[in-house]
Structure 1
């Protein structure tokens, strides 16, 4: 089964300038067989100033409507990878990326879909909208918030979809510079009679928190985060925060396999598997450290582990023993985990 630690090469066939700070990279993965679902993302591996860095970016394409794989990257202040991709990647270059991952996907239903995007959060929401329009009969309504008009993304793409699917797609644009910041009243007004619809939310953390808290009705809410937010912990899996100086737990051993390396160290209470791996002197893959990107995914082959948060792994993957090591805390005294 593909995992985020298995990278493959892709050639950049085209680059589309969306606005001054955002580029869409059209990719041709080597070897074919690259399947994905609308709303998913890939983790990219790049070397910047001698350091290997990992970042996750969503697809702006959808398999139902696009013959090419596209990911859209917005430059962020002090963002080493986003700036490097925007400044240094040219057509014909090759990039390393994982197989697609993520659960920010459509469920099988015909009820309306509401999309809430802040800035570049429109990327996976656009992918979902394309898929829903092409593959279902669902109505799709999008509320897209941007600071200024020149920061708007995919305006022509969405206009084309409105023409192609008359009466099924509605796009409401909120520009902070013209209307002030979006508030709960604006969100409730947009939702209107669609309180039972599926809501998909992606954008900066303050925007997402605002939408999630203001949504009326009993519809299902799906959120996509790539780090920075505190993990949302189900009460049944709540785990106390690690102490500053954990004591070794008698009889407990954590064994970690990473490539050709194999280490075994005493277990520390409440320490995640990722923290244990670092303490053991290993350098495992990771990115968000919030349970959102799956870069740190590994498989538990012995013992039992609970996750503080998981917004990525499917039920089948968890059943097969896969965990997010940045969120995985051993439940048994001894655990063995393997990075693939």
Structure 2
């Protein structure tokens, strides 16, 4: 419903009811009058909504900034305001032209003299021919509606056409797009705990039957956990480490990080029977199909999303898999027994190439290139510590693998090679609709939208701050932004105007976004 609200569904409802009033005409006088009452009620409700500033409904008039710097986007607001004003005046004159007491007396229990008669409340006599004025305002409103429809289809078509087409039907067996569902945490119970290595454990999560559709996931996606290790709780992303099936619970795998508050709390405290608040699966680190050959390159706990991809291909597809897996030593390998069992079961389709730093040295770009030079035909997926991923990408690029075939999964904000310091000079004026209210603030050079809003004392939703969980997503209504990193939004969602506040830098002097 939020998407429809943001496309001004209420205004279209007003326009549609007014057209119904207009088309009913004098030949259906009683129907015409009752539709007019309904229109008047909607107009009053719209004024009340404007006063309360309810979330999802736009202002009736342009903001002060838009008054001083008119833009194309303001045209739609003026057309809307003009149509509403014409509706209101036509409705008011209509009240003065009708014997309302006689009409309302048709209702059970309403006496004929309760509202008086038209002659007693004749406040339109000064207009002369009130009927002609009423008709002029009605025609004016219709013209403004037509102009607004043309304006939307010509200048706001990117937002209009997706709504008119409706949501696409998912392919059979495909996971639903979690971003289109409400961003609400669901409490899931831990049903099992398995020790994978000296410093890593897997946790199985039971999904209630009514939530299974929301938690259907593609291999390589992750869950966002609300870890209650402090106040407020920390939000952390952990990849699903097993391909989904109807008879198995979800599984995430957590490796202890020195000084890591979330990982240490989970490994020290979380036991079967406990519950956690979790968001549905997200992420675009997923293969386009399961029938093509894949190269998976991982290090340490970076094997977790690769494990889910690997299992899905072997169980449901026909592709072959080569996994290059780097660890400190043999004792730190996660899923050692599980991988050995899969190799025995699929000897012709799965090859695992281990690398141990203790005996071979750190796996740099050259070492990785030498190890995978004979296997670079299909898509390549990389996950692990940032230096390892940089080396793996350099190795693949050196081997001639196109950038479009290289996929990386990060759970930390990438550091720009030439970071720009935040300066006192504002580069954009931001108008943001948040929690039913509008705020205007400056965004300075080097700032993303989330930082600017927090500096201004606002509290927009946020979680990972790395561009992977989409908890901070908002829609650009006017202006433009550039994202530093995006691993949560699909290309279609970006085309529809969605962006990540934690990664979006303004690229226009004026910017308007909505949550």
Compute the RMSD of aligned alpha carbons.
Answer: 2.5
* Residue 18 (1) aligns with residue 179 (2): no
* Residue 189 (1) aligns with residue 370 (2): yes
**Alignment partners' CA distance in 2, 1:166 and 1:284:** 50
* Residue 221 (1) aligns with residue 406 (2): yes
* Residue 203 (1) aligns with residue 384 (2): yes
Inter-CA distance 180–268: structure 2 relative to 1 (3 Å threshold): closer
Aligned-residue offset at 1:266: 3.5
* Residue 104 (1) aligns with residue 285 (2): yes
Aligned-residue offset at 1:134: 1.7
Inter-CA distance 112–333: structure 2 relative to 1 (3 Å threshold): same
Could you tell which deviates more after superposition, 110-119 or 263-272? 263-272
User: Which of the pair is proportionally richer in strand?
Assistant: 1
Q: Deviations over 1:32-73 (max 9, x none)?
A: 222110000111112323222111110001125872211111
SS of the residue 1:213 aligns to: helix
**Alignment partners' CA distance in 2, 1:66 and 1:118:** 29
Contact 1:277–1:283 under 8 Å retained in 2:
yes
Inter-CA distance 246–182: structure 2 relative to 1 (3 Å threshold): same
Contact 2:451–2:502 under 8 Å retained in 1:
yes
Could you tell which deviates more after superposition, 189-198 or 12-21? 189-198
1:327-338 map, 5 Å: 327-338=503-514
Contact 2:290–2:316 under 8 Å retained in 1:
no
Correspondence for 2:172 = none
Count of matched residue positions in the alignment of Structure 1 and Structure 2: 330
Inter-CA distance 141–267: structure 2 relative to 1 (3 Å threshold): closer
1:249-328 map, 5 Å: 252-257=429-434, 259=435, 262-328=438-504
**Alignment partners' CA distance in 1, 2:246 and 2:387:** 32
Inter-CA distance 2–228: structure 2 relative to 1 (3 Å threshold): closer
Correspondence for 1:166 = 347
Query: Mind listing any 5+ residue stretches in structure 2 that lack a counterpart?
Result: 1-176
SS of the residue 2:282 aligns to: coil
Contact 1:113–1:138 under 8 Å retained in 2:
yes
Contact 1:310–1:324 under 8 Å retained in 2:
yes
Q: Deviations over 1:177-213 (max 9, x none)?
A: 1222223343223223323322111001111111111
Aligned-residue offset at 1:110: 4.1
Inter-CA distance 29–303: structure 2 relative to 1 (3 Å threshold): farther
Contact 2:462–2:472 under 8 Å retained in 1:
yes
Q: Deviations over 1:296-338 (max 9, x none)?
A: 2223344433322212211122123221111112334443434
Query: Mind listing any 5+ residue stretches in structure 1 that lack a counterpart?
Result: 233-238
* Residue 6 (1) aligns with residue 184 (2): yes
**Alignment partners' CA distance in 1, 2:390 and 2:419:** 23
Correspondence for 1:235 = none
Inter-CA distance 10–261: structure 2 relative to 1 (3 Å threshold): farther
Inter-CA distance 332–27: structure 2 relative to 1 (3 Å threshold): same
Q: Deviations over 1:128-151 (max 9, x none)?
A: 111111222111011111102221
1:98-137 map, 5 Å: 98-108=279-289, 110-137=291-318
**Alignment partners' CA distance in 1, 2:318 and 2:364:** 30
Correspondence for 1:244 = 423
Contact 1:231–1:291 under 8 Å retained in 2:
no
Structure showing greater Rg: 2
Inter-CA distance 115–207: structure 2 relative to 1 (3 Å threshold): same
SS of the residue 1:81 aligns to: helix
Correspondence for 1:236 = none
User: Which of the pair is proportionally richer in helix?
Assistant: 2
**Alignment partners' CA distance in 2, 1:309 and 1:164:** 38
**TM-score normalized by the length of structure 2:** 0.60
Aligned-residue offset at 1:231: 5.4
**TM-score normalized by the length of structure 1:** 0.88
Aligned-residue offset at 1:270: 5.0
SS of the residue 2:223 aligns to: strand
Contact 1:65–1:130 under 8 Å retained in 2:
no
Contact 2:364–2:388 under 8 Å retained in 1:
no
